[in-house]
Amino acid sequence: MTVTDEALPRSPAAGPAGDPVGDPVGAEVVAALVRDLDVGFAALYEAYRGAVFSTALRLCGRWAEAEDLSAEAFLRAYRALAGYAPGRVAALRPRPWLLTILANVWRNSLRSAARRPAAAPLEDAPDPPDPGEGVEDVAARRETGRELAALLAALPEMQRAAVVLRHVTDLPVAEIAAVLDLPEGTVKSHISRGLARLRELRAAGRDPGQKGGVR
């Protein structure tokens, strides 16, 4: 999949020395990037690959597609960083910056998918496995993942993104507003309406295979 250059996000404003509020790892990652791009990018990837993949998985509902979205997001991030001046790198807030790239890649994938034949039904979308889990816990989590993926897929695009970023990735509203390039009030509205719609769908016992009737 490809994303136009115009879709590449501007880096959100940062605090002193690029230290993002609510992201204590960010300052260390930024400092590493300023010192050496390749070493710093390895630190960036290790710090945020989980958040990027989990967000991608809940946005698209398919494991393989989430891997593709994540890989494309990190590839675009590296290419962007290679062209940034040191001052711009130092001003990065890595987490919202990466998730903005991911959101743009995901939107672009939706536009591409709309021009292709209908995709197969949603696959299970469990969280990454925990080696210490018992069989019963794994089964319950997989069922929850399948249900959540189906319900999220029924939401309009912006509601889905806002709900995932707030309640899966655990971003504050201000960062979600930066990622989605929306006013904070609009983000709050999308989250509220998305959660209300999810509750309606779950209460109605909605068939995960159906995708119609979304308001």
Q: Are residues 152 and 190 in the same domain?
A: yes
Q: What is the pLDDT of residue 168?
A: 86
- State the Cα–Cα distance between residues 146 and 155, nearest whole angstrom: 15
If one compares 51 and 139, the residue with the highest pLDDT of the two is 51
- State the Cα–Cα distance between residues 168 and 150, nearest whole angstrom: 15
Q: What is the pLDDT of residue 38?
A: 97
**pLDDT tens digits, one per residue of 14-25:** 443 334 445 789
Q: How many CB atoms lie within 10 A of CB 59?
A: 30
Region 153-174: mean pLDDT is 93
The distance from CA 69 to its chain's CA centroid, rounded to whole angstroms, is 9
If one compares 113 and 46, the residue with the highest pLDDT of the two is 46
Taking the model in full, what pTM does it have?
Answer: 0.74
Is the backbone of residue 61 left (phi > 0), alpha (psi -120 to 50) or beta?
left
CATH of the domain at 187: 1.10.10.10
Q: Are residues 75 and 166 in the same domain?
A: no
In a domain, residue 104? The reply is yes
Number of domains in the chain: 2
Q: Which of 81, 116, 151 is the last residue of a domain?
A: 116
In a domain, residue 58? The reply is yes
Domain assignment of residue 69, given as a range: 10-116
pLDDT(5) > 70: no
- State the Cα–Cα distance between residues 215 and 208, nearest whole angstrom: 16
Q: What is the pLDDT of residue 150?
A: 84
Q: Which of 116, 148, 164 is the last residue of a domain?
A: 116
Q: What is the pLDDT of residue 84?
A: 96
**pLDDT tens digits, one per residue of 112-152:** 766 555 444 444 444 554 444 443 443 344 445 677 888 89
If one compares 111 and 188, the residue with the highest pLDDT of the two is 188
Q: What is the pLDDT of residue 15?
A: 40
